[in-house]
């Protein structure tokens, strides 16, 4: 081998190692960023504070009283990486109507992707129509938005369900069409899902128990924290 050829081999060898080093660095950086994004490495102070706040979710909200706490499957909690949750049935002490309220707390990635359209359609329910955005405003002028979606059941003897759901990074609830991107930078994320038995053909008026509950929740001391 000529001296000039041997000399030219060294830069190629160095470039290969440099390219490999860059590839490893990109892989490690991506893993660290994903770990931070999913809260895999550490549980932030914000997450712990949010979990403590969720633990104070009231059992009495206006005229609605919690009457039952239902368990959530461990597989679902693990999939969503929940660090806190509630799943309760509330009954209106004046009307006797009831509804189910679930709130999940965890990293924004897993919490953002699971929607009722996926969950209910895998059971004995069929989507009645496309979801609709519902805007609610508090007396203080704060605006919140929720998705509302109606399901009919394949059981002719059972009522359909109306489900409201939204996400919050700590303050206002939002019916985002792209929650995974909208809340990607949030240290933690709440997801609220409320289900009540109601005719899917009824109007969104004052007789809707889900809307009644949400209005009283948004006016509660817990929502103002």
pLDDT at 210 over 80: yes
H or E segment and range at residue 210: helix 209-218
* DSSP code, position 38: T
Higher pLDDT, 38 or 114: 114
* pLDDT tens digits for range 130-181: 899 999 999 889 999 999 998 887 666 567 789 999 999 988 999 999 999 9
Asked if residue 118 has pLDDT above 90, the reply is no
The reported pLDDT for the residue numbered 203 is 54
Q: What is the pLDDT at residue 123?
A: 63
Q: What is the dotted CATH code of the domain comprising 45-224?
A: 3.40.1000
Q: Which helix (H) or strand (E) holds 64?
A: strand 64-69
Distance CA 150, CA 120 (A): 10
Query: What are 32-72's pLDDT values in tens digits?
Result: 344 444 444 445 788 999 999 999 999 999 999 999 999 98
Whether the per-residue pLDDT at 19 is higher than 80: the answer is no
Q: In the numeric block, which tokens belong to residue 81?
A: 């990486």
pLDDT one-digit tens code per residue, 168-209: 998 899 999 999 999 998 999 999 999 998 765 555 555 799
CA distance 213 to 165: 13
Contact 85, 54 (CB under 8 A): yes
- For residue 160, the model assigns a pLDDT of 77
Distance CA 61, CA 125 (A): 29
Q: Quick check: 214 pLDDT over 80? A: yes
pLDDT of 31 > 70? The answer is no
Measure the CA–CA gap between 207 and 164, rounded to whole angstroms. 15
What pLDDT is stored for residue 13 in this prediction?
45
> In 3D, which of 149, 134, 145, 212 has the Cα closest to residue 179?
145
The whole-chain average pLDDT of the chain stands at 79
- Is the pLDDT score of 15 beyond 80? no
Helices (H), 39-115: 45-55, 74-80, 108-113
């Amino acid at each position: 081998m000529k001296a000039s050829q041997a000399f030219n081999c060294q830069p190629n060898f160095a470039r290969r190692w440099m390219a490999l080093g860059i590839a490893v660095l990109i892989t490690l950086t991506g893993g660290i960023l994903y770990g931070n994004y999913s809260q895999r490495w550490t549980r932030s102070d914000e997450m712990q504070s949010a979990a403590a706040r969720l633990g104070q979710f009231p059992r009495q909200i206006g005229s609605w009283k919690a009457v039952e706490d239902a368990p959530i499957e461990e597989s679902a909690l693990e999939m969503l990486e929940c660090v806190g949750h509630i799943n309760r049935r509330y009954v209106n002490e004046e009307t006797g109507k009831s509804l189910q309220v679930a709130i999940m707390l965890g990293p924004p990635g897993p919490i953002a992707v699971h929607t009722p359209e996926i969950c209910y359609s895998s059971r004995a329910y069929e989507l009645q129509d496309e979801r609709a955005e519902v805007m609610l405003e508090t007396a203080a002028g704060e605006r919140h938005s929720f998705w509302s979606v109606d399901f009919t059941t394949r059981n002719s003897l059972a009522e359909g369900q109306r489900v409201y759901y939204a996400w919050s990074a700590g303050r206002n609830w939002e019916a985002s069409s792209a929650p995974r991107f909208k809340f990607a930078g949030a240290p933690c994320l709440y997801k609220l899902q409320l289900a009540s038995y109601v005719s899917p053909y009824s109007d969104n008026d004052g007789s809707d128990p889900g809307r009644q509950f949400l209005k009283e929740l948004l006016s509660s001391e817990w929502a103002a924290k």
